């Protein structure tokens, strides 16, 4: 499964999870089995006036991700990802490596509602 | 003559100036006051006029004819406001983020985007003697104040003097309210915050190439930095409203100082005369 993991800085498998989705620095796109990684920058949305979550979700969908791993996901991004049938793993922490392991071990369950409903950051 | 009353910082006294000015100006001719601070319109807390009619705030709205959509994504790419996500089987619209520019309609090659309308607020009308008043109110949860303000400005009743009470700040809503006016009054207060935000508002109004002057409210409180800045920048200070307990007490009762205190009323009369005569042109 191809998962897009929000990271603060691209360091491959050692990248640290960014708690934000729409305004994350970027995504490490990673195959959960092979651990092959590529990087998708999210720079265009860091200073977006509005709709950073919608646009980031669009980019992740376009990149062919089947799942997203992040700390917090807002309601609009959640709606886009859900409509595109992308699994959403929220409350993720640690490194990309940790996240991949947790997914493989079945420690994460796909969320059915956003965990960030108030405010912007 | 069309005058907008704006400020950078909120709470500096835009509404106080606008409402008192309306009372002064209506003594000499027809006046229309439009409360375009549509997220927090409070002119009528002081005017206490009875509304005679209301109209819905209408703005363009967009949806997709799924039967014509091939998921090409042109609509989402055209949207500068990230209000559309294009998914393989259909686009998702987030209308509360839509600025109603119509770019998605122009961009889309197969005419799948359907243009309609939706409501996002209300405009209320009242009149009394020489004074016509309208007040816009944006619905809770809506973010797009500009279409409502545009609609208000388009439907102003004819009058010798038009007063627009603008939203605070220097962003889209404020720009929409002050554009195409003959003169802008920037109301500020002598505090570091007041000065900082006034400079931003001045820069915005200068960019629009509109003449403007400053009203210092609560004059005598705070410090001299605001006044010194205006002088050094060559910006006229067109009125000073003193820092006064009497004004604050009247305000707390929902009363305008113009009718209560002759010496304060004279400040407003002088300002009204300056505006009526186009004093900035001299």
Residue of B nearest to A49 (CA): B81
Looking at the complex, report in whole angstroms how far the Cα of residue A52 sits from the nearest Cα belonging to chain B: 7
pLDDT tens string for chain B (282 positions)?
999 999 999 999 999 999 999 999 999 999 999 999 999 999 999 999 999 999 999 999 999 988 888 888 899 999 999 999 998 888 899 998 888 888 999 987 778 898 999 999 999 999 999 999 999 999 988 888 999 999 999 999 999 999 999 999 999 999 999 999 999 999 999 999 999 999 999 999 999 999 999 999 999 999 999 999 999 999 999 999 999 999 999 999 999 999 999 999 999 999 999 999 999 997
Distance of CA B266 to CAs B3, B164, B238, Å?
A: 19, 21, 13
B chain contacts of residue A50, beta-carbon cutoff 8 Å? 81-82, 97, 143
Full DSSP string of chain B: -EEEEE-SSTTSSHHHHHHHHHHHHHTTS-EEEEE--TTS--HHHHH-PPP-EEEEEEEEEEEE-GGG-----HHHHH-TT--EEE-SS-EEE-GGG-----HHHHH-TT--EEEEEEEEEEEEEEEETTEEEEEEEEPTT----HHHHHHHHHTPPP-SEEEEE--SSSSHHHHHHHTT-SEEEEEE-SSHHHHHHHHHHHHHHHHTT--EEEEEEEETBS-SHHHHHHHHHT--EEEEEE--HHHHHHHHTT--HHHH-HHHHHHHHHHHHHHHTTGGG-
A chain contacts of residue B86, beta-carbon cutoff 8 Å? 58
Q: Among residues A75, A86, A116, A44, which one has the least CA distance to residue B96? A: A75
Any B CB within 8 A of A51 CB: yes
- CA-to-CA distance for A72 and A60, rounded, in angstroms? 15
- For chain B, domains (ranges, CATH) are 2-57+121-281 (3.40.50.300), 66-111 (3.30.70.20)
| Domain map (residue ranges) of chain A | 2-104
Q: Enter the ipTM.
A: 0.83
Looking at the complex, report in whole angstroms how far the Cα of residue A49 sits from the nearest Cα belonging to chain B: 8
- CA-to-CA distance for B25 and B275, rounded, in angstroms? 9
Tell if the pTM clears 0.90, that is, is over it.
no
- Number of A/B CB contacts below 8 angstroms equals 38
| Closest Cβ opposite residue B81 in set A51, A61, A62 | A51
- CA-to-CA distance for B102 and B60, rounded, in angstroms? 8
CATH domain A2-104 topology: Nucleotidyltransferase; domain 5 (3.30.420)
Looking at the complex, report in whole angstroms how far the Cα of residue A104 sits from the nearest Cα belonging to chain B: 27
Residue of B nearest to A85 (CA): B87
A chain contacts of residue B94, beta-carbon cutoff 8 Å? 51, 54, 76
For A87, the token pair is 């699994």
């Amino acid at each position: 499964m191809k998962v897009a993991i929000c990271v603060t800085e691209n360091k491959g498998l050692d990248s640290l999870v960014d708690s934000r989705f729409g305004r994350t620095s970027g995504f490490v796109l990673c195959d959960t089995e092979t651990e092959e990684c590529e990087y998708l920058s999210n720079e265009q949305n860091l200073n977006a006036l509005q709709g950073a979550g919608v646009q980031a979700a669009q980019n992740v969908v376009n990149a062919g991700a089947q799942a997203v791993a992040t700390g917090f996901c807002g309601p609009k991004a959640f709606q886009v990802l859900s409509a595109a049938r992308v699994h959403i793993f929220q409350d993720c922490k640690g490194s990309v490596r940790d996240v991949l392991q947790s997914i493989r071990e079945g420690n994460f369950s796909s969320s059915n509602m956003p965990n960030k409903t108030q405010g912007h950051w | 003559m069309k005058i907008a009353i704006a400020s950078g910082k909120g709470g500096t006294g835009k509404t106080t100036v606008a409402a008192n000015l309306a009372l002064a100006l209506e003594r000499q001719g027809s006046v229309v006051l439009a409360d375009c601070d549509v997220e927090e319109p409070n002119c009528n807390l002081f005017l206490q006029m009875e509304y005679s009619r209301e109209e819905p705030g209408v703005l363009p709205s967009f949806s997709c004819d799924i039967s014509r959509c091939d998921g090409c994504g042109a609509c989402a790419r055209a949207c500068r406001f990230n209000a559309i996500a294009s998914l393989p089987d259909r686009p998702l619209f987030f209308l509360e983020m839509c600025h109603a520019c119509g770019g998605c309609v122009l961009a889309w090659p197969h005419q799948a985007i359907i243009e309609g309308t939706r409501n996002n607020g209300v405009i209320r009308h009242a009149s009394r003697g020489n004074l016509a008043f309208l007040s816009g109110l944006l619905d809770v949860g809506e973010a797009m104040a500009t279409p409502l303000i545009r609609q208000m400005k388009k439907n102003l009743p004819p009058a010798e003097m038009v007063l627009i009470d603008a939203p605070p700040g220097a962003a889209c809503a404020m720009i929409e309210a002050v554009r195409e006016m003959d003169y802008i009054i920037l109301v500020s207060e002598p505090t570091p915050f007041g000065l900082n935000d006034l400079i931003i508002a001045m820069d915005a109004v200068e960019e629009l190439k509109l003449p403007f002057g400053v009203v210092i409210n609560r004059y005598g409180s705070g410090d001299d930095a605001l006044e010194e800045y205006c002088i050094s920048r060559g910006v006229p200070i067109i009125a000073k409203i003193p820092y006064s307990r009497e004004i604050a007490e009247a305000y707390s009762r929902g009363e305008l100082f113009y009718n209560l205190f002759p010496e304060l009323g004279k400040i407003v009369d002088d300002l009204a005369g300056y505006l009526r005569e186009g004093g900035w042109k001299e």
